[in-house]
Amino acid sequence: MNQPITSKINNKGHLEVGGCDLVGLAAEFGTPLYVIDETTVRSRCREYKTAFKNRYDNSQVIYACKALCNTAIVKIMNNEGLGLDVSSGGELYTAKKANCNLNSVYFHGNNKSKKELEEAVEWGAGRIVVDNFDELRNLDEITKKLGKKIDILFRINPGIEAHTHEFIQTGRIDSKFGISKEKAAEAAGLTRKMTYVNYLGLHAHIGSQIFEVSPYLAEIEILGRLADQIRTETGLKTEEIDIGGGLGIDYSGADEAPSIDSFAERTVSHFIKTCKEFKLNDPKLILEPGRSVIGTAGVTVYTIGMVKDIPGVRKYAAVDGGMSDNPRPILYDAKYDALLANRARETKKEKVTIAGRFCESGDKLIKDIELPEVKVGDILAVFGTGAYNYSMASNYNRVGRPAMVLVNNGIPTLILKRESYDDLILNDVVI
């Protein structure tokens, strides 16, 4: 399922999400428009929490803010009892301004600035996930200066990198992220001499849009073994094991992404087995999903502004957005699925390529999609755009980023304003 769970076709033949007619939303808020279905978001949060808590009580799900971060969204996550994975001062600041529980914040990043580290310590971020020895040294200095304690996890490079349908166990040692397995005990040992830096555990993240569960099992094994080694070599106890995010979602409508429940079943049982094997005393299990919480809750609504048939070659329909609101097709050749929201019941008649409006010939959102005969003025709804669309959006061609509405029970709530021309020149310094 690549659509929000509340998605349906109403009696006007229009697509509806969260009880709101997408054609009506387009008229009210303009296009392009990001639409987020609150029911889908909350139900994914609950699914994650229940699937893990029911199998292993000492577990915590933290939402990877990089997938989609704004005040309203992090508030929902906090309200659902999820912790937050932040990867910049900006994401941390958003969580702070949204009055989230900062004690459940895990601060990631391979090159956090001293300023960001200071802010994290000052504002009371729960954990810092230390990526490297330079950061550890900086954190030692900062906590001494501030006289404040901080709990840390070390990010480990497990030598595994996984993607959809594949995983590679060797050859991924070459990564800008994390400390090598060989150096983990040394890093943990250094904290023994630090007054304010407290070693709490290990973290790894093996990739994104992953469909296979087996690489996670290999990762759990590696982290469990390292925790054992750290205890033997330094006497330090590993109280938290964070296995990162990465669970894939269905973009096309036919991709077979594992369910949260089956993912939990396999990872938790392997986690328990690994903890027994290495005599670890029920450490906390942490997960950091981003895409699989928010991805399918999002739909982007566009207006078709031109249709161009190049006889014998291709038919193009251009939308009023594209690579600046969704850079994933041009960056990763990502595939999306869509419907005409204003004629949702009509039979598919032709193959078209949905082009964006930006000055780059690669700006194509969807290549060769089957749709009813597309006309200027049609409203196109693209599915699965909740994750890594707004968060990676740009102002290319000085086009403002779209507005975002949260929909629930027929009520749309504006949670991000559309960027105006004045917003675009806000930071220009007039000379």
* Contacting positions for ligand LLP (CB under 6 A): 64, 66-67, 85, 108, 205, 208-209, 244-247, 288-292, 328, 332, 387-388
Tell me if 351 sits within 8 A of 281, measured CB to CB: no
Q: How far apart are CA 63 and CA 288, in angstroms?
A: 5
Residues with Cβ within 8 Å of residue 19, at least 6 apart in sequence: 6, 407, 408, 409, 410, 411
In angstroms, what is the minimal distance from the CB of 193 to ligand LLP?
27
Sign of the four-CA dihedral 190, 192, 197, 202: positive
| Nearer CB in complex with ligand LLP: 16/116 | 116
Check whether the bond before 283 is cis (ω within 30° of 0).
Answer: no
Out of 20, 69, 100, 359, pick the active-site residue.
359
Q: What CA–CA distances, in Å, run from 117 to 101, 120, 226?
A: 18, 5, 26
In angstroms, what is the minimal distance from the CB of 26 to ligand LLP?
25
| Nearer CB in complex with ligand LLP: 22/382 | 382
| Nearer CB in complex with ligand LLP: 205/343 | 205
In angstroms, what is the minimal distance from the CB of 309 to ligand LLP?
32
| Nearer CB in complex with ligand LLP: 246/402 | 246
In angstroms, what is the minimal distance from the CB of 108 to ligand LLP?
5
Q: Is 359 a catalytic residue?
A: yes
In angstroms, what is the minimal distance from the CB of 331 to ligand LLP?
7
Q: How far apart are CA 247 and CA 224, in angstroms?
A: 21
Q: How far apart are CA 368 and CA 376, in angstroms?
A: 18
| Nearer CB in complex with ligand LLP: 16/131 | 131
In angstroms, what is the minimal distance from the CB of 110 to ligand LLP?
9
Tell me if 12 sits within 8 A of 260, measured CB to CB: no
Query: For the chain, percent helix, then strand, then coil, each to nearest 5?
Result: 35, 25, 40
| Nearer CB in complex with ligand LLP: 78/209 | 209
Strand ranges for 356-428 from DSSP E: 364-371, 379-383, 403-408, 411-416
The alpha-carbon radius of gyration of the chain (Å, integer) is 23
Tell me if 153 sits within 8 A of 242, measured CB to CB: yes
| Nearer CB in complex with ligand LLP: 188/243 | 243
Residues with Cβ within 8 Å of residue 257, at least 6 apart in sequence: 211, 247, 248, 249, 250, 292
In angstroms, what is the minimal distance from the CB of 34 to ligand LLP?
15
217 three-class SS = helix
Q: How far apart are CA 365 and CA 333, in angstroms?
A: 9
Instruction: Please identify every residue annotated as catalytic.
Output: 359
